[in-house]
Chains A and B, each alone.
Chain A
């Protein structure tokens, strides 16, 4: 799983456009100051004993977390979990809710490699908010308040995230009433948004525009509220949570055999990346190494997922500026990429392909040739449509440029990731920073842009489309893949050996352990975390979709922008509702 295991394989260099290869990462971190911290280093995709995570007092935890973020570390995770084992209560005041924070930074070592730092602490019932001093904790603290009823005092905008009662039966952090249903599950007595008053602006000529949750198109539900003066948007408030299915809790309560299917349903357009993140975590907790061929097939599937979505987004952007030919071509070509995934695993979104232990389907030479033939044929068409959209049609450029601009410093403060972050000059790409699967052997070029507008977000996608096609072709042309062994899913084999009658309680995972996995999904950094208890059962499953960071970017893009540019900006981000809502 880690890069060191694959070091024997020759590094492939793929031919890439190099126009943007000025080293932004270097300039981004011109200071060489190194940080000292009580948080300890953890490795992507490597399981450790929970005892090896430093368990700090809350005050130390808070102080170190703030220090890391002030030194440009980024919050990857900050969440609560329930743990009432005796051992964990030694430090601090003995509550059963704990907090875990995980940061990424390249500021600690002189060689500037990206590193992850994690620590835990006991959660007080209320605590001085970190957000009041440091913006990037904003949404994480609201999520903790919602899930566990733990109140961050002094939080600047303590509002619900997904609108569901906390799991602890504590007083509601947002003052909503909740009750218990027949199955003793908590539910809010009022419909979303409860007693929350949406942000409002007052004054002559000020008006609100409310959209959703049911939108005009065939898309997911969400509520958008624009505070406008005339056509100009002063502020956009985004209320999500309509897709909330309670996935994190369902994973804890469901039998292990259901987990791969649940995980594939976190976000359908990110099926492969979620399945890979889950599989890596389980593999780490069961000490299973997967074959290089399986890694290659996972990498191909991840890139095909990126291709289908990016091509679809380019088409949608074109449609939103009323340039219909590329909209239709991209719609069709997106389908062609999905159909390649269908060829590999029988499902257009890659459902059923990735399982802990490997992949379920091999790519034999006939299939390899067929995908190669299709992708080579498409490559020219895709390149020409991108040319038509972004280069030869000035009216499109005119609409894309300077629309919905987010500055690099705002993007940095908000912690934007993935295509949204790269469009603002933040070059972070998890495929380069924390390479998994076959990525340690692939040179992923930097492609950050400086404009931060719709054009930059489109251009990033266009470049990544051509890069991904090159990666898929490179992997397919490698002879090794022809003999990819198909591994029976780990659960299928292990499950029967145990033959336990009570398979609802079956777990193959190492007890008292912690693992985090990070992958670059097509929208950006996707991360899963598993904490297990003393019997190996999952104590906490945390999922963080890149959209968790990026929705605030969309709101920022709309500041002082004409309301008619909302659809265009929305498509340029194309964020996940269900990945956020969980």
Chain B
């Protein structure tokens, strides 16, 4: 008993003050990408060619209608495809794409995944009736559907003392019958498709669907494999997209709080 208490004292109080206080992530962390629209064409071409995920969109490879809305930013990163590996930053030596320490880059609409350096304020773009319904209590059921388990791991840590998700009234629950929403990770392998749909069916309406990680959004590193889908939104309606490979726990926390809470 004394040992247990001694240990408790040594461990101290570890819960972060986020979101009341901001947390800065280390310099090498790769968050929201920013793009220099005036970068040298050669460098841009090199980056487009080098990107393992073909996530860099420019005039040369984009759908012609894409840039109509915003003529000034004709170079973008598709955060749904991007795995934040940093190849473009290295190839361009920071002259074209750089990754910032901003971890709050989740979006509510698929079109917003295409970024030229900013993302819309998630709190304003979320479905407002969800805030009313789930703002004080949100129970989530997670389904892992063919990923590498890194996204699952970084969702799981939200339960550890540092993040302590439960203090916001948000929990991961064991049964879809107890849940308000579904959190899906992985590229939805053929063998998980039915189980995923059955879990969704078992959820009482209204149901929230959250796609976490580039796999769930576009197939991620496994895109084009016949064994996986090309994104959760081809199977279920998605309300919230959390990009990353995997997304940092703070990205997950930021997304859940911004999307569901009236104020954070």
Contacts and interface: CB of A to CB of B under 8 A. Distances in A.
Interface of A: 162-164, 181, 183, 185, 187-188, 191-192, 213-214, 216-221, 241-247, 249-250, 253-254, 257-258, 260-262, 264-269, 271, 325-326, 328-329, 331-332, 334-335, 339, 342-349, 351-352, 360-361, 381, 384-385, 387-388, 392-393, 488-489, 492, 495-496, 503, 576-578, 581
A254 B219 CA distance: 14
Nearest to A262: B221
Contacts of B160: 328, 331-332, 334-335
B49 A181 contact: no
A344 B222 contact: no
B220 A254 contact: no
A13 to B, nearest CB: 30
Interface string B206-239: 0000000001000011101111100000000000
B144 interface: yes
A491 to B, nearest CB: 8
14 contacts: A192-B191, A217-B174, A220-B144, A244-B189, A244-B227, A247-B222, A261-B245, A325-B11, A339-B26, A342-B26, A343-B28, A344-B28, A346-B86, A351-B245
Residue from A214, A260, A267 having most chain B Cβ neighbours under 10 A: A214
A351 B157 contact: no
Contacts of B131: none
Interface stretch (B110-118, B148-156, B255-263): B148-156
B86 to A, nearest CB: 5
Given A220-B152, A264-B148, A268-B153, 16 more contacts: A164-B190, A185-B226, A214-B143, A217-B156, A242-B191, A246-B226, A260-B52, A268-B149, A331-B157, A342-B29, A346-B29, A351-B245, A352-B30, A360-B90, A577-B149, A578-B146
A454 B65 CA distance: 60
A187 B14 contact: no
Contacts of A250: 222, 224-225
Given A217-B174, A347-B84, A243 B4 contact: no
A262 B90 CA distance: 19
Given A181-B226, A332-B160, A349 B150 contact: yes
Contact of A242 (B14, B51, B146, B162): B146
A464 B29 CA distance: 28
B190 A349 contact: no
Given A246-B227, A347-B30, A360-B90, A332 B161 contact: yes
Given A187-B190, A268-B246, A492-B90, A218 B152 contact: yes
Residue from A262, A266, A268 having most chain B Cβ neighbours under 10 A: A268
B190 A346 contact: no
A369 B175 CA distance: 46
Nearest to B228: A245
A243 B189 contact: yes
Nearest to B157: A335
A316 B61 CA distance: 47
Contact of A268 (B91, B151, B175, B225): B151
Contacts of B10: 381, 384
A246 B7 contact: no
Nearest to B151: A268
A241 B161 CA distance: 33
A335 B4 CA distance: 21
B3 interface: yes
A258 B52 contact: yes
Nearest to A186: B226
Interface stretch (B33-41, B72-80, B122-130, B192-200): B192-200
B150 A269 contact: yes
A214 B11 CA distance: 34
Interface in B1-33: 3-4, 6-8, 10-11, 14, 25-26, 28-30
A536 B10 CA distance: 57
A392 B84 CA distance: 44
B152 A219 contact: yes
Nearest to A349: B150
B248 interface: yes
B28 A345 contact: yes
B159 interface: yes
A271 B221 CA distance: 13
A221 B150 contact: no
Interface residues of B, number: 71
A245 B53 CA distance: 17
B243 interface: no
Contacts of B152: 218-220, 268
Nearest to B26: A343
A334 B159 CA distance: 13
Given A349-B246, A388-B4, A503-B49, A183 B190 contact: no
Contact of B192 (A213, A342, A488): A213
B56 interface: no
Interface in B149-196: 149-157, 159-162, 172, 174-175, 186-187, 189-192, 194-195
Residue from A216, A219, A347 having most chain B Cβ neighbours under 10 A: A347
A328 B161 CA distance: 7
A243 B190 CA distance: 9
B194 A218 contact: no
Contact of B248 (A185, A192, A348, A388): A348
Contacts of B156: 217-219
B229 to A, nearest CB: 11
B108 interface: no
Nearest to A344: B28
Contact of B11 (A164, A220, A329): A329
B83 interface: yes
B106 interface: no
Contacts of A265: 147-148, 215, 220-222, 245
Given A219-B152, A221-B145, A385 B7 contact: yes
Given A243-B186, A351-B85, A269 B26 contact: no
Nearest to B193: A191
A218 B143 CA distance: 7
A173 to B, nearest CB: 18
B142 interface: yes
Contacts of A219: 144, 149, 152, 156
B56 to A, nearest CB: 13
Contact of B148 (A244, A384, A393, A578): A578
A166 to B, nearest CB: 14
B136 interface: no
B9 to A, nearest CB: 11
Residue from A185, A254, A265 having most chain B Cβ neighbours under 10 A: A265
A312 to B, nearest CB: 8
Contacts of B6: 384
B50 interface: yes
Contacts of B151: 268
A249 B157 contact: no
Contacts of A577: 149
Identify the 10 closest CB pairs spanning chains A and B, nearest first: A268-B150, A246-B227, A185-B226, A346-B28, A216-B174, A331-B160, A268-B148, A265-B221, A246-B225, A265-B148
Nearest to B31: A346
A173 B30 CA distance: 46
A218 B155 contact: yes
A241 B145 CA distance: 11
